[in-house]
Amino acid sequence: AQTVTQSQPEMSVQEAETVTLSCTYDTSESDYYLFWYKQPPSRQMILVIRQEAYKQQNATENRFSVNFQKAAKSFSLKISDSQLGDAAMYFCACQEPSGGGADGLTFGKGTHLIIQP
Amino acid sequence: DVKVTQSSRYLVKRTGEKVFLECVQDMDHENMFWYRQDPGLGLRLIYFSYDVKMKEKGDIPEGYSVSREKKERFSLILESASTNQTSMYLCASSLARGDANSPLHFGNGTRLTVT
């Protein structure tokens, strides 16, 4: 079983600044995967970034990077140089490949990111 | 690019009606999923399928059923719609079970209102 917690229902940031979205998770597995998905107003969920638990190096995708702290079970998303198009709901998710059911994918409740022009 | 298509973007149904939500993916994915999304609750898994004619219950299957007669199509069925099933429904697919190199690909969602 796994749980994913996003403690910030809403965040606001000025355009061009940096913002960090928090996520903590709980899993008994040693092998798992972590994801951040973005859901813009158009509603389609898009994968932003993923991290394999066995990799110590933090994943990076252009302006998006993660701070993965395995011992603390923390997986935060940093967005640098925020742009208006970054405004969306962001969901953190955990996947246990060895778990039962739907690849063991569990989502947090989401953080609504507002970009102030 | 993987395309997951949900047949309706908005749907309004009456209490007691039988409702079909259709989802089609075009990349020969093995896995398909139906999630429900509600404000403050995130995404909750209703049903999923790893193969044709195969289905498994997710976290909130009550009041729903599914059908997967063909690999590319996964239907969610509300046997007798109720007002508490008013929600956003998201369909997703992925290539293979337990393969994190194949993350979930989502459709655009169907916003269902039951009156």
Q: CB contact, 8 Å: A43 with chain B? A: yes
pLDDT at residue A103 in the model: 62
Task: Indicate yes or no: CB of B43 within 8 angstroms of CB of A9.
Answer: no
Mean pLDDT estimate for chain B: 92
Instruction: Let me know: does B18 contact A71? Beta carbons within 8 Å.
Output: no
CB atoms within 10 A of CB A96: 22
Nearest CB to A47; choose among B48, B98, B103: B103
pLDDT at residue B27 in the model: 87
pLDDT at residue A114 in the model: 97
pLDDT digits (tens, 9 = 90+) for B73-94: 999 999 999 999 999 999 999 8
Per this entry, what is the length of chain A?
Answer: 117
Lookup: tokens for A23: 């996520």
CB atoms within 10 A of CB B69: 9
Is B106 a residue whose pLDDT tops 80?
A: yes
User: Mind giving me the DSSP string for A3-58?
Assistant: EEE---SEEEEETTS-EEE--EEEES-SS-EEEEEEE-TT---EEEEEEETT--SP
Q: How many helices (H) and strands (E) does chain A have?
A: 0, 12
Task: Indicate yes or no: CB of B42 within 8 angstroms of CB of A50.
Answer: no
d(CA B103, CA B91): 13
Q: Identify all chain B residues contacting A27, using CB atoms and an 8 Å cutoff.
A: none
Please give the single-letter amino acid code of residue A1. A
What is the C-alpha end-to-end distance of chain A, expressed in Å?
41
Is B102 a residue whose pLDDT tops 80?
A: no
What is the C-alpha end-to-end distance of chain B, expressed in Å?
37
Q: CB contact, 8 Å: A90 with chain B? A: no
Q: How many interface pairs between A and B have CB atoms less than 8 angstroms apart?
A: 55
Q: What proportion of chain B, given as a percentage, has pLDDT over 70?
A: 94
| Closest-CA distance of chain A to residue B72, Å | 17
Task: Indicate yes or no: CB of B103 within 8 angstroms of CB of A35.
Answer: yes
Lookup: tokens for B19: 């409702």
Task: Indicate yes or no: CB of A103 within 8 angstroms of CB of B98.
Answer: yes
pLDDT at residue A1 in the model: 58
Please give the single-letter amino acid code of residue B6. Q
Lookup: tokens for B102: 């194949």
pLDDT at residue A32 in the model: 87
Phi-psi region of B29 (alpha: psi -120 to 50; beta: other; left: phi over 0): beta
pLDDT at residue A31 in the model: 82
**Residue A55: which residues within 8 A CB-CB, separation 6 or more?**
none
| Closest-CA distance of chain A to residue B110, Å | 9
For range B2-24, the mean pLDDT: 94
Nearest CB to B43; choose among A44, A50, A91: A91
Burial class (CB in 10 A: 0-12, 13-18, 19+), B93: buried
pLDDT digits (tens, 9 = 90+) for A72-98: 999 999 999 999 999 999 999 998 766
Task: Indicate yes or no: CB of B42 within 8 angstroms of CB of A42.
Answer: no
Lookup: tokens for B86: 């008013």
The parts of chain A modelled with pLDDT lower than 50 are: 101
pLDDT digits (tens, 9 = 90+) for B18-49: 999 999 999 899 889 999 999 888 899 999 99
pLDDT at residue B101 in the model: 63
Instruction: Classify residue B30 by its DSSP letter.
Output: S
pLDDT at residue B100 in the model: 60
